[in-house]
């Protein structure tokens, strides 16, 4: 074989080697792609199973909560019977077929006809129903400062400045948010139509209003009741900012101190304390 034939043969071998390498590379890429697709399918399957597992756990939790709520309602019936017998029922206020029952130690519950729909102890405060809605508050500090006349600093110096009192309250609330109560709104079935996650909900009971102001994380907003109860008409102008009411408007909102007297003329200090905590009572000194 002469040199020319050897050179041609070498070129053929080189070409074959390049074709072989190309085939190997294509095969490797194909396997890599298949491996990535397989890993993606495995990941998708894992995510699907994780989602199914979370949904299953949520259903289990919901079922457990339903059983717990049912048990609490049964316990509330027994507690109510015992409270009636011992005279520990502070008040029973009817709103149609609903009755808000308050026991001593500020334990509130709601009955619909003969059955409880809100157990005692679920909320620390339940207000009256207006437009089929009621303002509720969870357990904890309220954060109200309007009735606080003075506080003390670390050195036990008395502070009476309103601005400083409010700033100190806001500072403490920022550090310990878990200690403060949250507000929400329930309907006539006991369902939270506005979740208990608000720092403040302005009083609307007895005002025949179509909206109320709410505060969450320092941000104020207006909630319209037709969004919570379809039977409530929509205001003619939902953008009218003057629809906000003044919380300190004594003609509409101030607590009547005479409400603290019972039928026998005895003063109920617990009722006054409730009014102060709820922000309804403002001292005449203000």
Distances from the Cα of 194 to the Cα of 6, 136, 137, 188, 229, angstroms: 89, 10, 12, 13, 11
CA distance 241 to 220: 12
Least Cα distance to 244 among 199, 206, 193, 207 occurs for 207
Q: What is the 3-state secondary structure (H, E, C) of the chain?
A: CCHHHHHHHHHHHHHHHHHHHHHHHHHHHHHHHHHHHHHHHHHHHHHHHHHHHHHHHHHHHHHHHHHHHHHHHHHHHHHHHHHHHHCCEEEEEEECCEEEEEECCCEEEEEECCEEEECCCCCCEECCCECCEEEEECCCECCCCCCCCCEECCCCCEECCHHHHHHHHHHHHHHCHHHECCEEEEECCCCEEEEEEECEECCCCCCCCCEEEEEECCEEEEEEHHHCCCCCCCCCCCCCHHHCCCCCCCCCCCCCHHHHECCCCCECHHHHHHHHHCCCCCCCCC
37 against 122, higher pLDDT: 122
Quick one: tokens of 39?
A: 């890993």
- Residue 278 CB burial class (10 angstroms; 0-12, 13-18, ≥19): middle
Residue 239's pLDDT is 44
Length of the chain: 286
The rounded distance, in Å, linking the Cα atoms of 2 and 17 is 23
pLDDT of residue 81: 93
More confident residue, 69 or 94: 94
Residue 241 predicted with pLDDT over 50:
no
Whole-prediction pTM: 0.59
Q: What is the pLDDT of residues 48-61, one digit of tens each?
A: 777 777 776 666 56
Which of the pair, 239 or 76, is modelled with greater confidence?
Answer: 76
pLDDT band at 252 (very low <50, low <70, confident <90, very high): very low
**What's the Rg (C-alpha) of the chain?**
34
- The more confident residue out of 263 and 98 is 98
Taking 60 as the threshold, does the pLDDT of residue 207 lie above it? yes
pLDDT of residue 50: 75
Half-sphere exposure of 89 (CA within 13 A, CB side): 18
78-115 burial: b if 16+ Cβ within 10 Å, else e = ebbeebeeeeeebeeeeeeebbbbbbeebbbbbbeeee
Residue with tokens 């878990």: 178
Q: How far apart are CA 272 and CA 276, in angstroms?
A: 6
For residue 118, is pLDDT > 90? yes
Cβ atoms 154, 197 nearer than 8 A: no
Q: What is the pLDDT of residue 277?
A: 57
Q: What is the domain partition of the chain in residue ranges?
A: 1-103, 104-277
Average pLDDT, the chain: 77
Q: For residue 167, what are its two tokens?
A: 């700033």
Percent of the chain with pLDDT over 90: 28
Look at residue 180 and tell me whether its pLDDT is greater than 80.
yes
Q: Is the pLDDT of residue 259 over 70?
A: no
């Amino acid at each position: 074989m002469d040199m020319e034939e050897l050179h041609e043969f070498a070129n053929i071998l080189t070409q074959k080697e390049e074709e072989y390498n190309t085939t190997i590379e294509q095969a490797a890429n194909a396997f890599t792609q298949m491996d990535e697709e397989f890993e993606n399918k495995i990941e998708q399957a894992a995510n699907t199973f994780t989602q199914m597992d979370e949904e299953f756990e949520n259903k289990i939790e919901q079922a457990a909560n339903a059983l717990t709520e049912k048990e609490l309602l049964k316990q509330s019936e027994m507690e109510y019977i015992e409270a009636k017998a011992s005279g520990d029922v502070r008040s029973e206020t009817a709103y149609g077929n609903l009755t808000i029952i308050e026991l001593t130690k500020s334990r509130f519950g709601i009955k619909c006809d003969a059955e409880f729909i809100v157990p005692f102890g679920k909320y620390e405060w339940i207000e009256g129903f207006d437009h089929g809605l009621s303002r509720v508050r969870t357990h904890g500090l309220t954060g109200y400062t309007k009735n606080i006349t003075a506080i003390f600093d670390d050195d036990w110096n008395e502070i009476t400045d309103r601005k400083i009192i409010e700033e100190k309250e806001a500072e403490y609330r920022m550090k310990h948010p878990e200690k403060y109560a949250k507000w929400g709104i329930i309907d006539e079935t006991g369902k939270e139509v506005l979740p208990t996650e608000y720092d403040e909900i302005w009083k609307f009971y007895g005002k025949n209003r179509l909206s109320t102001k709410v505060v969450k994380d320092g941000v104020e907003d207006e909630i319209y009741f037709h969004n919570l109860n379809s039977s409530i008409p929509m205001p003619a102008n939902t953008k009218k900012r003057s629809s906000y009411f003044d919380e300190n408007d004594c003609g509409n909102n101030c607590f009547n101190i005479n409400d603290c007297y019972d039928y026998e003329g005895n003063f109920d200090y617990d009722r006054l304390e409730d009014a102060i905590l709820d922000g309804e009572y403002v001292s005449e000194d203000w």
